[in-house]
Amino acid sequence: MVSPLVDVFFNGTVRLGSNTLCDGYAYGFPFRVQTHIHDDHMGEFNRSKGFQDLFMSQETRKLLIAERNADLAYRDNIIPISWGVERNLEDGSTLFLLPSGHMLGSCQVVLELPNGIRCGYSGDFAWPLEDVMQVDQLVVDSTYGNPSSVRRYSQDEAESRLLEIVSQRLRYGSVHIKAHRGTIERVLHVLAGNVGVPILVSAELKREITVYQDHGFAAETLETLESPAGKLALRERSYVRLYSKGDALGNELSEGTCVTCSAYMVNSDDPLLKFSERAYRVALSNHADFEGTLAYIVATGAKQVVTDNTRNHGIDLAMAINRRLKGVHAIPSTNCSPPV
Ligand SMILES: [Zn+2]
Ligand SMILES: [Zn+2]
């Protein structure tokens, strides 16, 4: 096959055509698309701010402003794009974004080059997905690109198991729940109105969740640790505390139960893993699993696929695509250095 117009550099930066990068910086590329705010996609954001035009969804921009509180709101090279609205770039290509279902603001990226070829990057994505981009060439996230990454339970089941264990453990004291950004808001959504105790968060996390609430998610009153209601709940040991990025969860809880929510595949039919009476893990995931990833690729219509081999399982996934998807040719990303 002719070499694709898309690739991934060694540091995880995705290249679409010759002027546009996603989730990273390299010299000589005037445009960057930010697919979402997870740390492993934020590489060299500050440098990009200085040198590139930065495109992202409205929601991602708001989350970044809530987190960084900095000059972002006033910069004219931070350019929010509404879902599905085409944006013409100065090199004659056209950019547009569709939601990827992974967290608030997360997107799939479509870049139509001046010659009409459509390049895309899935970003981190969930499956099933309502609106799948249509592209010729695709860079696909390979987080669950390994054939053993198959879930035998639905995310609804994972959510019910979470609610069950939280309600049960609240009888013995406080419950402490830790999850990634985006997932912690889903946890809140599951608990909302169902636990009968205050839900406590840090002031930082409250700021982030407020952005979700502005977009209609996770409607629930939260108490910060410092508020009078928060202090009372802490004394009475009757509360749920949520932890996300930057919130330290001490090595040991003096009382209460710890529940970690993560995409980790517990290799069983049960999304709940028990470590002890006071420690659990629930496999809550905002990522498509292996079969979901293949179904997504088919839905994009891409005939040339580059699997992201910088983060995870790119080789396994490329092999599986070539074996299982008729008419689709896949290679792992080269992970080369950016041109200098
Ligand atoms: Zn992510
Ligand atoms: Zn990721």
What lies within 8 Å, CB to CB, of 43 at 6+ separation is 11, 12, 13, 23, 24, 25
The CATH classification number of 155-282 equals 3.40.50.10890
Q: Which ligand is nearest to the CA of 143?
A: 2
Name the residue ranges covered by the structural domains of the chain. 6-148+287-332, 155-282
pLDDT per position as a tens digit, 206-218: 999 999 999 988 7
Q: In angstroms, what is the span from residue 235 Cα to ligand 1's centroid?
A: 35
Judged by DSSP in three states, 84 sits in coil
Cα separation, 148 vs 161, in Å, equals: 23
pLDDT band at residue 5 using 50, 70 and 90 as cut-offs: very high
The answer to whether the beta carbons of residues 338 and 27 sit under 8 Å apart is yes
Residues bordering ligand 1, an ion, CB closer than 5 Å: 38, 124
User: DSSP string spanning 158-226?
Assistant: HHHHHHHHHHHHGGGS-EEEEE-TTHHHHHHHHHTTTS-S-EEE-HHHHHHHHHHHHTT------EETT
Q: Which ligand is nearest to the CA of 183?
A: 1
Q: In angstroms, what is the span from residue 319 Cα to ligand 1's centroid?
A: 24
Q: In angstroms, what is the span from residue 134 Cα to ligand 1's centroid?
A: 21
Q: In angstroms, what is the span from residue 124 Cα to ligand 1's centroid?
A: 5
Residues bordering ligand 2, an ion, CB closer than 5 Å: 40, 124
The pTM of the full predicted model, rounded to 2 decimals, is 0.93
Q: In angstroms, what is the span from residue 228 Cα to ligand 2's centroid?
A: 38
What lies within 8 Å, CB to CB, of 227 at 6+ separation is none
pLDDT per position as a tens digit, 309-333: 998 899 999 999 999 999 999 999 9
Which of 70-74, 111-115, 192-196, 214-218 shows the highest mean pLDDT? 111-115
**What's the CATH superfamily of 6-148+287-332?**
Ribonuclease Z/Hydroxyacylglutathione hydrolase-like (3.60.15.10)
Q: Please report where in the chains the tokens 């409607």 appear, as a residue.
A: 219
The answer to whether the beta carbons of residues 122 and 139 sit under 8 Å apart is yes
Residue 194's Cβ-side half-sphere holds a number of Cα atoms within 13 Å equal to 17
Q: Please report where in the chains the tokens 């928060």 appear, as a residue.
A: 230
What lies within 8 Å, CB to CB, of 251 at 6+ separation is none
